[in-house]
């Protein structure tokens, strides 16, 4: 979602029709018993049905659109009642029903600074996915939900789960990786956490919104089977596990039809096959029609009423839109509000638990970092045995970088680096923000008595001079991402590769600390001693990273996304961008209008890699990778043995994991199945995992259930899931490329 400057069409105050509603004065004079929809013993559907009977046509339509961009100014009279977030939909105070106070909240509550509020920045969503821990995801969601409530919001615009078909996608950091089972499970748990606080949860951007370049015009062209088994499967699992109140439809077209008026996506799949009872909300400015969108299943237009205001009323009054169809859309919104608890337990503003949530952010980051390289056990650093540490990297003395765009969490006291360089300036909502959490100071605190040198890494020769003679060199590398700005390459920007190469020549003990939104290329990988992927690490990132570097915490995260060797190894070596002739139109989304959006030339992205997303692509093409999906090292070691398979409806994989090292650690045991050749599937797929804690020398027998549906493929002819007959090898191990245990089952 993205707040875009746009003139708001004022809602016409026209007379309604339908069942006459009681006046505010009449209702105020009556006891609560006169408002039967406030009876908490009734189902959410029944409460919505009772309230719907009271609403006039104008009131129903009022609930089906926003009141404009809060950051432009209140053109709609109702907009003044908004909370300064991403959007506002008026409620019905005469019926004790609040409005929808909506805010972006991918990794924390956005737009806080303008209201003098404070929000906790959690590690990025991809970081949380790297924990492979559903309890971490739930805690993540609880923090977001609680801080939304504390700031007066009752609806989240988070829950991103678009698969990383294109890892250069600017929003990779907002999503949950490349595998539908991992991504869907993790986002479902996050949504559970959000909604446990009586805030409406959201899942987005539905669907196949896998790049930002030309997102308002691009058509993602893909077959039904491929969608069902990849991008849509992640959403399906997220919807089933998280039961979100809302689904946000995307900007892009899918097979030529806009996602927000796509009958197949919204009516056939989401509301039909999945029986989703909540409502579909458009991304901001992603509505393109009235009747077509309504018939397809779009319930609410945002941020204004261009199509779902007076135009919708006219369509109802003319009979183009049946009253019953309109009522279904309104019912879904009301039902969600009752189901989530926003009617019975509205938020009460208070100061967020800043210190408690900063501690949780630190714990999540500790469990999300991935140790990628550790030659000669350079990590953890023994502060008692080193005399000098060199800390090198741009802004490593001042802060940690964060992800930009509508997900951006405002840092306390503003950008830690002050005004950014002129050459790096983008639209205000896209600029690079560094949180005031200094890696340099965190290292000094973790290693008292050790001499710590600093260099910003702007000049490779000077940086090498500082590194030379140090016992350990820590280079804090960054790759910034922000919504709307896809990366031209996965390579580190600003000449950082050359600096790392110079450091490696000057000192054999270089450790690269990666602050990135996704995978990066590492031409220097064999020359450095250590690499730690820390992602965008959040409010307490610098301290959490030091906890891992100095061994206070044993890293346990594993990659939710493959790190390729080069851009050329990607399914689409060159990013598909809008036609050259329209490049000027895409230079600043803030200047876009509905007219301009409608006139942008369409272009196609053909996902001809099909089912081969992420590790499945590299497996199928036998391409070597830098680091495989599911990979992550520890300060201890683990051994796998004794695999047994019990087959019934699905299967159960039982095996033993032993900690063979000298430290307590956590291991993520991964279970895959190789598919029969006749199925036409990629070589293998993830079907389950389990995260376990083991003390040194300890062994545990563990069991991972493999539901029957994890072995199924989508049959386009029969329009259902089914398993292909044949042999299914079950593979178990620490990563998608290291699977030492194997047993076969037969599906007949």
| Domain shared by 709 and 624, yes or no | yes
Please give the Cα distance from 116 to 118 (Å, whole number). 7
Residue 56, classed as helix, strand or coil, is: coil
Last residue of a domain, one of 502, 521, 549: 549
3-state secondary structure at position 728: strand
Alpha helices in 600-651 (DSSP H): 615-621
- Position 529 confidence tier, pLDDT thresholds 50, 70, 90: very high
Task: For residue 61, give both structure tokens.
Answer: 């339509």
Contact of 251 with 220, CB cutoff 8 Å: no
Q: What is the pLDDT of residues 349-384, one digit of tens each?
A: 999 998 999 999 999 999 999 999 999 999 999 999
What is the pTM assigned to this prediction? 0.94
Residue 726 has pLDDT above 60, yes or no: yes
pLDDT band at residue 10, thresholds of 50, 70 and 90?
very low
Q: Is there a domain that residue 591 lies in?
A: no
Q: Are residues 540 and 628 in the same domain?
A: no
* pLDDT of amino acid 20: 44
Both tokens of 294, joined, read: 């309504």
Q: Which of 420, 600, 366, 404 lies closest to 487, judged by CA?
A: 404
| 652/711 Cα distance (integer angstroms) | 12
Whether 483 and 621 map to the same domain: the answer is no
Q: Do the domain assignments include residue 500? A: yes
Same domain (yes/no): 539, 681: no
Residues in a beta bridge with 300? 281
- Taking the C-alpha atoms of residue 529 and residue 90, their distance in angstroms, rounded to an integer, is 57
Domain annotation covers residue 70: no
> What CATH number should be reported for the domain holding residue 406?
3.40.50.1700
In-domain check, residue 311: no
DSSP-assigned beta bridge partners for residue 633: 371
Residue 40 lies in a domain: no
Statement to judge: residues 529 and 633 lie in one domain: no
**Whether 519 and 433 share a structural domain:** yes
Q: Which of 65-69, 440-444, 668-672 has the lowest mean pLDDT?
A: 65-69
Tell me which of 549, 575, 593 is where a domain ends.
549
Say if 132 falls within a structural domain: no
Whether residue 515 is found in the same domain as residue 663: no
Residue 129 has pLDDT above 50, yes or no: yes
Last residue of a domain, one of 549, 571, 588: 549
**375 located within any domain:** yes
In a domain, 256, yes or no: no
Mean pLDDT value across residues 339-356 = 95
If you write DSSP's letter for every residue of 267-332 in order, what string do you get? IIIIIIIS---SEEEE-TT----SHHHHHHT--BB-SS-TTTSHHHHHHHHTTSS-HHHHHHHHHH
Residue 633 has pLDDT above 60, yes or no: yes
Closest CA to 397 of 449, 457, 446, 448: 457
Q: What is the CATH number of the domain that holds 694?
A: 2.60.40.10
* Whether residue 360 sits in one domain with residue 448: yes
pLDDT at 71 over 80: no
Three-state DSSP string of 172-192: HHHCCCCCHHHHHHHHHHHHH
**530 shares its domain with 665:** no
Give the domain range for residue 631. 617-747
- Indicate whether 543 and 622 sit together in one domain: no
Pairing of strands 155-157, 100-104: parallel
Identify whether residues 422 and 503 lie together within a single domain. Answer: yes
Contact 86, 103 (CB under 8 A): yes
pLDDT at 585 over 50: no
Residues 532 and 392 in one domain: yes
At what angle are helices 310-317 and 323-340 packed, to 10 degrees? 130
d(CA 217, CA 605): 11
Q: What residues contact 573, with CB distance under 8 A and at least 6 apart?
A: 567
Instruction: Give the number of domains in the chain.
Output: 2
Q: Above pLDDT 70, what percent of the chain?
A: 92
Q: Virtual CA dihedral for 273, 275, 278, 279, nearest 10 degrees?
A: 30
């Amino acid at each position: 979602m993205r707040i875009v400057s746009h003139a708001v069409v004022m809602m016409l105050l026209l007379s309604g029709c339908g069942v006459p509603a009681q006046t505010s004065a009449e209702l105020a004079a009556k006891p609560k018993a006169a408002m039967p929809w406030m009876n908490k013993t009734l189902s959410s559907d029944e409460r919505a049905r009772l309230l719907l009977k009271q609403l006039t046509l104008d009131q129903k339509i009022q609930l089906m659109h926003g009141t404009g961009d809060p950051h432009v100014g209140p053109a709609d009279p109702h907009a003044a009642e908004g909370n300064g977030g991403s959007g506002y939909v008026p409620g019905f105070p005469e019926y004790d029903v609040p409005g929808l106070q909506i805010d972006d909240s991918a990794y924390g509550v956005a737009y806080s600074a303008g209201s003098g509020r404070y929000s906790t920045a959690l590690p990025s969503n991809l970081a949380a996915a790297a924990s492979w821990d559903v309890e971490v995801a739930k805690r993540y969601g609880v923090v977001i939900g609680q801080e939304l409530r504390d700031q007066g919001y009752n609806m989240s615009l988070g829950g991103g789960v678009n698969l990383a078909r294109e890892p250069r996608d600017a929003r990779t950091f907002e999503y949950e990786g490349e595998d539908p089972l991992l991504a869907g499970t993790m986002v479902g748990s996050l949504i559970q956490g959000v909604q446990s606080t009586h805030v409406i949860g959201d899942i987005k951007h539905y669907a196949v919104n896998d790049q930002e370049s030309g997102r308002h015009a691009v058509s993602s062209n893909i077959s039904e089977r491929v969608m069902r088994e990849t991008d849509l499967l992640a959403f399906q699992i997220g919807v089933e596990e998280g039961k979100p109140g809302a689904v946000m439809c995307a900007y892009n077209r899918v097979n030529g039809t806009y996602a927000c008026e796509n009958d197949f996506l919204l009516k056939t799949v989401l509301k039909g096959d999945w029986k989703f009872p909540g409502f579909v909300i458009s991304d901001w400015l992603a509505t393109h029609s009235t009747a077509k969108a309504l018939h397809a299943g779009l319930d609410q237009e945002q941020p204004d009423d261009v199509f779902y205001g007076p135009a919708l009323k006219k369509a109802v009054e003319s009979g183009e839109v049946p009253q019953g169809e309109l009522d279904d859309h309104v019912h879904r919104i009301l039902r969600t509000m009752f189901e989530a608890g926003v009617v019975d337990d509205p938020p009460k503003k208070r100061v967020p638990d800043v210190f408690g949530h900063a501690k949780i952010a630190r714990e999540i980051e500790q469990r999300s970092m991935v140790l990628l390289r550790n030659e000669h056990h350079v990590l953890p650093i023994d502060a008692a045995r080193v005399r000098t540490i060199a800390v090198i990297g741009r802004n490593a003395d001042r802060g940690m970088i964060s992800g930009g765009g509508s997900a951006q969490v405002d840092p306390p006291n503003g950008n830690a680096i002050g005004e950014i360089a002129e050459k790096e300036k983008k639209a205000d909502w896209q600029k690079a923000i560094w949180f005031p959490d200094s890696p340099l100071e965190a290292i000094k605190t973790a290693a008292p008595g050790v001499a710590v040198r600093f260099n910003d890494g702007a000049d490779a020769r000077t940086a090498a001079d500082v590194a030379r003679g140090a016992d350990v060199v820590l280079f804090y590398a960054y790759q910034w991402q922000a919504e709307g700005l896809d990366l031209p390459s996965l390579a580190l920007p600003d000449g950082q590769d050359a600096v790392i190469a110079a450091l490696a020549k000057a000192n054999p003990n270089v450790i690269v600390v990666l602050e990135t939104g996704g995978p990066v290329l590492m031409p220097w990988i064999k020359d450095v001693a250590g690499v730690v992927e820390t992602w965008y690490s959040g409010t307490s990132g610098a301290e959490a990273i030091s906890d891992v570097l100095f061994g206070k915490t044993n890293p346990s995260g594993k990659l939710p996304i493959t790190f390729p060797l080069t851009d050329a190894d990607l399914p689409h070596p060159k990013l598909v961008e809008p036609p050259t002739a329209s490049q000027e139109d895409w230079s600043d989304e803030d200047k876009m209008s509905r007219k301009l959006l409608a006139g942008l030339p369409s272009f196609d992205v053909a996902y001809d890699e099909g089912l081969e997303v992420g590790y499945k692509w590299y497996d199928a093409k036998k391409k070597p990778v830098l680091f495989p999906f599911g990979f992550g090292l520890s300060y201890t070691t683990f051994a796998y043995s004794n695999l047994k398979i019990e087959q019934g409806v699905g299967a159960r994989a039982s095996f033993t994991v032993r900690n063979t090292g000298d430290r307590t650690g956590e291991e993520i045991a991964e279970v895959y199945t190789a598919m029969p050749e006749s199925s036409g599937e990629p070589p293998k797929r993830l079907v389950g995992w389990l995260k376990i804690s083991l003390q040194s020398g300890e062994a545990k027998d563990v069991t991972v259930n493999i539901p029957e549906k994890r072995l199924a493929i989508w049959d386009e002819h029969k329009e259902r899931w089914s398993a292909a007959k044949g042999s299914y090898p079950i593979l178990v191990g620490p990563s998608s490329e290291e699977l030492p245990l194997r047993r076969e089952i037969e599906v007949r």
